[in-house]
A = this chain, B = another copy of it.
Amino acid sequence: MSPAPAVKDDLSPSAPFAGRGRWLEPLRSGAVFIRFRRDSQIVAQDEVSDYCFLIVTGCVRTAMALEDGRRQIGEFLFPGDIVGYDTVGGHPFSAAAVSDVTLRRFRLAAIEAHAMRDAGFAQAMRHFTTAQLRKAHLRFVLLGRGTAGERIAYFMREMEGHMVSSPTGRSALPMKLMDVADYLGLALETVCRGMTASRRAGGAAPSPDVPLPH
């Protein structure tokens, strides 16, 4: 029905996962495993960290807190994703465990050193950060121009494949509603209402009219 792809026709999540962390594979031998409990902090805000982490199991969130209590979740990360890479000079986002997680820890200096030796590795890094950047751009549209319904619909699609099979069959999301709210720039109650409405309207597909981008 759409005549030309001159503009985006909806706000759906970017392709099935662009920037993952497989490029860290060559450094696997130099990495150690670390575990964090639910809600424990992995990297502090403004901390100058020497490490980055590849997620093995569990879910991690990055966040920036403001003095007055407002908070913005940067992203939710899952097995195969990397946290703490874009950190040169200290990153303003903290990272915390959403669920119990196991991570593989890499020394940033080692990554940098390896990139200086191996051009192919460096190229893989570039593709990774470039993909991150493109995801960020899409997020601008969502946060800048998306309605509450669109943000929630976007989020639900992003989370497809990351639902946890809870015993009671309750909310299958690994994170709390508060986290989702701070991820989407909405009030907790708005997220709750939106998800309820979308559930009533047929489970996965929240609203029929979702005019925001890929």
Residues of chain A at the chain B interface (Cβ within 8 Å):
2, 5-11, 44-46, 64-68, 70-72, 74, 86-88, 91-93, 112, 115-117, 119-120, 122-123, 125-127, 129-134, 136-141, 143-145, 182-185, 211-214
Give which listed residue, B91, B123, B145, contacts A185 with CB less than 8 A. B145
In order of increasing CB-CB distance, the 5 nearest A-B pairs are: A144-B185, A136-B136, A143-B143, A72-B141, A86-B133
Assess the B140–A66 pair: CB atoms within 8 A.
no
Assess the B8–A213 pair: CB atoms within 8 A.
no
Residues of B within 8 A of A139 (CB): 136, 140
Assess the A133–B136 pair: CB atoms within 8 A.
yes
Assess the B6–A66 pair: CB atoms within 8 A.
no
Assess the B213–A134 pair: CB atoms within 8 A.
no
Q: How far is the CA of A153 from the CA of B9 in the complex (A)?
A: 32
Residues of B within 8 A of A87 (CB): 130
Q: Can you list 20 A-B contacts with CB-CB less than 8 angstroms, sorted by A residue number?
A: A6-B44, A6-B45, A8-B45, A8-B66, A64-B141, A72-B141, A72-B145, A86-B134, A88-B130, A88-B131, A91-B137, A116-B120, A117-B119, A122-B126, A126-B129, A139-B140, A143-B143, A143-B144, A144-B182, A145-B185
Q: How far is the CA of A87 from the CA of B127 in the complex (A)?
A: 10
Q: How far is the CA of A183 from the CA of B137 in the complex (A)?
A: 12
What distance in Å separates the Cβ of A207 from its nearest Cβ neighbour in chain B? Answer: 14
Assess the A65–B119 pair: CB atoms within 8 A.
no
Q: A10-B67, A64-B141, A122-B123 are in contact. List 11 more A-B contacts (CB 8 A).
A: A7-B65, A8-B66, A9-B66, A70-B145, A86-B130, A92-B137, A115-B126, A119-B119, A122-B122, A143-B143, A145-B182
Assess the B140–A88 pair: CB atoms within 8 A.
no
Q: How far is the CA of A93 from the CA of B144 in the complex (A)?
A: 15
Give which listed residue, B5, B8, B127, contacts A88 with CB less than 8 A. B127
A138: nearest chain-B partner, CB-CB: B92
Assess the A212–B145 pair: CB atoms within 8 A.
no
Residues of B within 8 A of A140 (CB): 64, 72, 74, 136, 139, 143
